[in-house]
Amino acid sequence: MNEYAIGFAFCGGLVGIAVACALYMMGGRNNKAIRRFGASFAVMATVVIQSLILGVFHWALLAIYVFKILEYIQGYSNKKGTGWLKRIGIAATSILCGVFLCAVIGAKWELLFLHVPISMATVLFGFKNPIPAAAEEPLICIMNNLIIPAYVFSLI
C-alpha cells in the first residue's frame, strides 16, 4: 500500500470520527441512544473499515463497540461537584479500549503515551467548562477517540 493510500485512509477515519462526534453531541440533547449506540457504532465502523482497507482486520475490533457503549453510558454532569470523578471513569474506559487493542490485536503500546494524556485532559472540563455544552460534547468525543483509529495503523 502506498503512502497516499495510507494517508487518505487515515483522513477518511477522521471523517468517521467527526460523524461519531456529531452523533455524540446529538445524543446529549435528547434520545441518549443516539450517543450510546449511534456514536459507538460510528467509532467501531470507522476502525473496522480502516482495518479492512489496510488489510489488518481482526474480529476483536468489533469489541470497540462494546467499549464505546460502556464509555458513553456513563453520565458526566457536574451536579454536586463530582463531574471530574465521572470524567475520570469515561477517560479510563476509553484508555481501556486502547489497552485492549494493544493486548489483543497487537497494536503498538507506544500509542498509549498519546491516548492517556489526551483522554485524561477531558477531566479538566469537570472543574471548569469554558465552552457551551453543545461544543464541549464533540470536543470530549474527539479527545477520547482521536487515537483509537491509530491503533490499526500501527499494525501495518
Give the domain range for residue 84.
Answer: 3-153
Q: If you search the block for the grid coordinates 471513569, which residue do you land on?
A: 89
For the segment 103-128, the average pLDDT, to the nearest whole number, is: 95
User: Given this model, what pLDDT does residue 5 score?
Assistant: 94
pLDDT digits 0-9 by tens, 53-81: 999 999 999 999 999 999 999 977 767 77
Q: Is the pLDDT of residue 128 over 90?
A: no
152, 46 Cβ separation under 8 angstroms: no
Structurally, the chain folds into a number of domains equal to 1
